Structure 1
């Protein structure tokens, strides 16, 4: 957990069993993530939400008045949680999206990308990720329309 204190982003707690547990210390100041300055919680959260399993993370920190760079690789944590031991697995990226909704659907993560319709046959969005054994993440129609409009505008330029 990182909080702003006296204008600095400070490590206040570290979740045990995660890669950061091995390299960060409570009281470390986070100054950058992958070269991007971290002035506040919002930027910190945005940068952390960009990361998915398999990504490399380079943290700039200040510890005991020394500037250090800590390199971490995001690896899937080993777990004994039986709800995560299912065929098809969770999508590598299933959170941190700006606007989505969730539906109950038991499909493999490699089958994401298809359209989603409501019971009346109306197109609601695109299935973009598998969140759990029985839930998938949907990119809603209004977000899709906005993205297509931006692409069309940039193609005209």
Structure 2
């Protein structure tokens, strides 16, 4: 009896205080990208006329519970709202919580920038090409800096990021090319850069050592105000909200639409993780329609709750077309 009592106490202490190498994943909060959070508009446009909107465009999230005990993990799992996954799937060995948080924040900020470029490109606004990053120790290092605007490379105009790669396609290591750029509000400058060998060992063309990125070239600012959210999956919903704010047509016309999807600067929508939990969170928030990346359709369809219609999307354009058809009562692509 004494031994049994000791084992019970040990098991109780272990289950209560000892953490397990798992995380619990479940439905997270949703945010209306057309609405306010904490008294501030989620999408705010300064310097340009905006239009009233109706309904909701809700971005969805996944909650992740880390540092859970055995009893805590069992309780979350037994609730039916959470799934357990090995911690190393979300936290790499040797990676601190702070590093993971920084990565999530950076992904979230990138999703905002990509959404802005995709939305404004769709609306016909001009695009400029900036230096996103300069690799240390490369030919571009100490010549160009992050944020510089690229105007021409190797004598060829640069109007989109692909132009930079195209301008170097016929070059060789050791060749000198001219680069015209603008730093801040300074006058444009043209400098010679001698290309190096690409460190990947597979590319024969000359290597400059910078990463270009498309950004909107507009005289107004688009700001996203949302705290304590990370990851790249809100991009599609941000882009839709920006288009809705900047055009007189009401995208959702009073509907409660939720969705998810990573977006790139061209407006292509990619798959995300945790969609089986996001559809649950969307329905609990009152959504009746869920915009679903094409490659997530099968998983979403296996978990979709009653009353939620899945619409398959592949791009910002396809999402806008589907919302227009939905408003008009026309068929829409479903999962």
Same fold (TM over 0.5): no
For CA contacts below 8 A with separation 6 or more, give which structure has more relative contact order. 2
Q: What is the TM-score with the length of structure 2 in the denominator?
A: 0.22
Q: Which has the higher strand share?
A: 1
Query: Higher Cα Rg: structure 1 or 2?
Result: 2
